[in-house]
Amino acid sequence: MTTVYLIRHGQTLANREGILQGHLDAPLSEYGKRQAELVGKALSTANIDAIYSSDLDRARKTAEAIAKYHDLEPILDPRLREIHCGSLQGKTMEESKRLYPEFFESLKEDPLNTPRPGGGESYIDLHQRSVDAFEDILKKHPESNVVIVTHGGVVRCLLAYAQGMLPDPSSPTPDNASISVISFKDGKLQVEKINDISHLAELYEEMSPSSQKDTYRWLN
C-alpha cells in the first residue's frame, strides 16, 4: 500500500488578510512557521520515503520543516502550485468581485471551466495538472509513504480525485498546515483522513482556525 500525506502549507500574511496569492511567492508568517514546525513534529515518527512540494516558498519551507526529521530533501514540482489567479493575484476576494464582475458571473454558470481573468487558470486546469503530478508520484513510489506539501486548491482537487469526483470550488478550503491522507492499494484510492489539525491544538488556543478568511472559496 502507498500512503500519501497531503499537507497544506503554513499560514502567510496574505492568508491572514484574505489576499489571493495564486502563484505569488508569499513567505510564511511567524505563525505559519510555527504551524510548519508542528506538522513536522506530527509526521516525525512516520516512515517517510519521499517528500514532494510545490516550488513556491510557503510550501517549500513547510516541506523543509517536515524533511529535517527524515534526512530527505523535498522534491520540487511546479505542478503542485496553487491555481494561477491571473489579474486577481494580490487582491482580496472583495476587490476582485468589484473589479471583475463579469468573471464572477461566468463562474456561477461554469465554475470548473471559467479561467481567472488576465491569463489565469480554470479549476479544470488546476485539477488536471494536480492529478498528473499525483499519478506520477504514485508510479515512482509504490508501497511507500509519501508527503506532498502543496496548496488548498490542490489538496481539494486530489481529495476529490481520490473519491472519483471533480473538485467543488464552493467547498471549504483545507486549513493551513492540515494533514489529509490518501491510500492506494490494489489499484484503488481511498481517502483516510481529511483536514486533520489536531497537531495544531496548542496554536489554536491563541488563534482559532476559523479566524482565518477562506480566501479560495470561490462560490458562496
What is the distance between the alpha carbons of residues 141 and 130, in angstroms, rounded to a whole number? 17
Buried b (16+ CB within 10 A) or exposed e, 151-164: bbbbbbbbbbbbee
- Selecting among 23, 70, 82, 84, the annotated active-site residue is 82
- Is residue 121 part of the annotated active site? The answer reads no
- Is residue 82 part of the annotated active site? The answer reads yes
Given this model, what pLDDT does residue 203 score? 87
What is the distance between the alpha carbons of residues 146 and 15, in angstroms, rounded to a whole number? 26
Report, as an integer, the average pLDDT of 186-212. 83
Amino acid at 152: G
- pLDDT above 80: residue 153: yes
Segment 66-86, tens digit of pLDDT: 999 999 999 999 999 999 999
CATH number of this structure's domain 2-85+123-211, picked from the four choices 2.40.50.100, 3.40.710.10, 3.50.50.60, 3.40.50.1240: 3.40.50.1240
Given this model, what pLDDT does residue 220 score? 42
Cell numbers at residue 210, please? 476559523
Segment 46-57, tens digit of pLDDT: 999 999 999 999
Segment 26-40, tens digit of pLDDT: 999 999 999 999 999
Q: Are 75 and 140 contacting, i.e. CB atoms less than 8 angstroms apart?
A: no
What is the distance between the alpha carbons of residues 213 and 58, in angstroms, rounded to a whole number? 17
- Selecting among 9, 84, 127, 151, the annotated active-site residue is 9
Given this model, what pLDDT does residue 210 score? 46
Q: Determine the 3-state secondary structure of 51 from DSSP.
A: strand
Q: Tell me the domain boundaries of the chain.
A: 2-85+123-211
Residue 68 φ then ψ, to 5°: -65, -20
Report, as an integer, the average pLDDT of 180-200. 97
In the Cβ-directed half-sphere of 126, how many Cα atoms lie within 13 Å? 34
Q: Determine the 3-state secondary structure of 103 from DSSP.
A: helix
Given this model, what pLDDT does residue 217 score? 54
- pLDDT above 70: residue 211: no
